[in-house]
Amino acid sequence: MTATQAMTEAARAIARRFIEAFNARDGDALRELVAEDAEFRRPRREALRGADGVRALLAAAQDADVRLVALRGETIEEQDGTVRLTMPVRELIGPDDIERIAEWEVRDGRVTAFSVRPLR
């Protein structure tokens, strides 16, 4: 396995663990996965950052009863030591089921950015 293959496999595993921790509302597990200055990007709003961002992300998910379900067909790109993983997900919001795109940026084994956006 090449260094790039190892990086992409690690990013894939981190994204899956991120979803598990998010759905379990496990702030400690999420903080272990994300960089101290991780950016949680939100459409049309300022990004959340770091540990405060983890807390805000989980509080909003709890309030809206949001869960993520990973779907097949992710794409992975590596550039200059950063792996960008894009994965189709089902965003379960209470009784609603919406297909979205989740995106992670992973560097040095930590999530440096995360967002969920509508399909284009």
Average pLDDT over residues 1-16: 85
pLDDT in tens, 98-111: 999 999 999 999 99
Look at residue 2 in the predicted model and tell me its pLDDT. 63
Query: Which 8-state DSSP code applies to residue 29?
Result: H
- CA 74, distance to chain mean position in Å, is 13
Look at residue 119 in the predicted model and tell me its pLDDT. 87
Look at residue 3 in the predicted model and tell me its pLDDT. 56
- Predicted TM-score (pTM) of this structure: 0.93
pLDDT in tens, 16-60: 999 999 999 999 999 999 999 999 998 888 899 999 999 999 999
**Counting Cβ atoms within 10 Å, is residue 86 exposed (0-12), middle (13-18) or buried (19+)?**
middle
